[in-house]
Copies of this chain bind each other. A is one copy, B any other.
């Protein structure tokens, strides 16, 4: 794509009232626009990155046997009254129709997926069952903040699983945990599996996947020697205490939640009377799990973690383009030829073809943060100047070598 044709171009001017790095850089680089607090439009660059994040988690959910579906956002109040959520969940948006019907806007989809699953689950042979979607959520947050980290409208991958036994839930949870950790690794994040409270309807412990960042909203205590990690909200420990697993010293850090798992027990199955005939011929309620993964939030966390004073540094797997091609004045034809060769090789190229200064093009490349910058100028002759976004070093290489190197970047 030619940058001259990109409708939301990178700009030196930071947005007013940006309280976080992700808000500032994502707007400046042309990935998002804020409509109001906690509600954002995704511009072409942002949508490209979001699509890559979606596909990474989609692949992992398919791999653990998840079935992708798409559930409505407009939901009957009756379903929320069955579970008690209508009166107890303060972030639930409520809508009244012209005909005085009451609807909720989906803030999570247990109330919809459980009656759906009821149709499927008749016998233990129908279990386990895992349904997931990648869809928008609406939450009436008192204070939306932190850019796209905490929105009133945001997107997540939410999966719901149903099991014959607690042991089968535990087995599946382990599989999903590994899938999550693979997905975080693919997008360049290291997440800590953190014990947390189970939420409104259960005394059980849940697991949060936490990325250390000062932009986060939680404090966690973690052990550097082993994998112990606990949310400060439920911790009996404090920083400096001995790790209850290995005895090493616990550290405290600010962190942002990028995923979670709830063991919902039989709460929703009982509420919606989802029963199956077990191996013993008797009826039983399935055990249910819920697995969240914030696609838009993760985009924000990536920016918080991976940036410098010049802009964003996207991992190759989720960068909007693999390459930002810069043509300096006087080499339009050579640049066009290089662009065509890269496109023909199947690469994703953003070509800064604008009639502007070299400095402005270099700044735009650093701001947008595609992993590889290529420069074609009167000095590069029949070669191109290669520079990785996170490195200060440049080198001259042939177009063919460029193509080979870019293909070897980690893309999923």
User: Which residues of A are in contact with B by a Cβ distance under 8 Å?
Assistant: 5-8, 33, 35-36, 39-44, 46-47, 50, 65, 67-76, 90, 93-95, 97-99, 105, 112, 116, 119-120, 129, 131, 136, 138, 140, 142, 152-153
Contact = CB atoms under 8 A, between A and B. Distances in A.
28 contacts: A5-B65, A6-B67, A7-B129, A8-B119, A8-B120, A33-B119, A35-B72, A39-B72, A39-B74, A39-B75, A41-B69, A41-B71, A41-B112, A42-B69, A42-B70, A44-B67, A44-B69, A47-B69, A47-B70, A73-B73, A73-B136, A74-B138, A74-B153, A90-B98, A93-B97, A95-B95, A99-B142, A105-B105
A141 B138 CA distance: 21
A67 B33 CA distance: 15
Contacts of A67: 6-7, 44
Contacts of A36: 76
Nearest to A121: B7
Contacts of A71: 35, 41
A76 to B, nearest CB: 5
A44 B73 contact: no
A93 B42 CA distance: 23
Given A7-B69, A46-B70, A136-B136, 20 more contacts: A6-B67, A7-B67, A7-B129, A33-B116, A35-B71, A35-B72, A35-B76, A41-B70, A41-B71, A41-B112, A42-B69, A42-B70, A43-B69, A44-B68, A44-B69, A47-B69, A73-B138, A93-B97, A95-B95, A98-B140
Q: So how many copies of this chain end up in the complex?
A: 2
Nearest to A136: B73
B131 A7 contact: yes
A72 B7 contact: no
- List the 10 shortest-distance A-B pairs measured between CB atoms, nearest first: A42-B70, A74-B153, A39-B72, A41-B71, A7-B67, A36-B76, A97-B140, A72-B153, A95-B95, A44-B67
A184 B376 CA distance: 42
Contacts of A50: 70
A105 B73 CA distance: 11
A161 to B, nearest CB: 12
A33 B72 CA distance: 10
A131 B73 CA distance: 24
A131 B42 CA distance: 12
A410 to B, nearest CB: 23
Contacts of A44: 67-69
A73 B41 CA distance: 10
Contacts of A98: 90, 140, 142
Contacts of A76: 35-36
Residue among A6, A7, A67 facing the most chain B CB atoms (10 A cut-off): A7
A335 to B, nearest CB: 21
A316 B46 CA distance: 32
Contacts of A142: 98-99
Contacts of A7: 67, 69, 120, 129, 131
A202 to B, nearest CB: 25
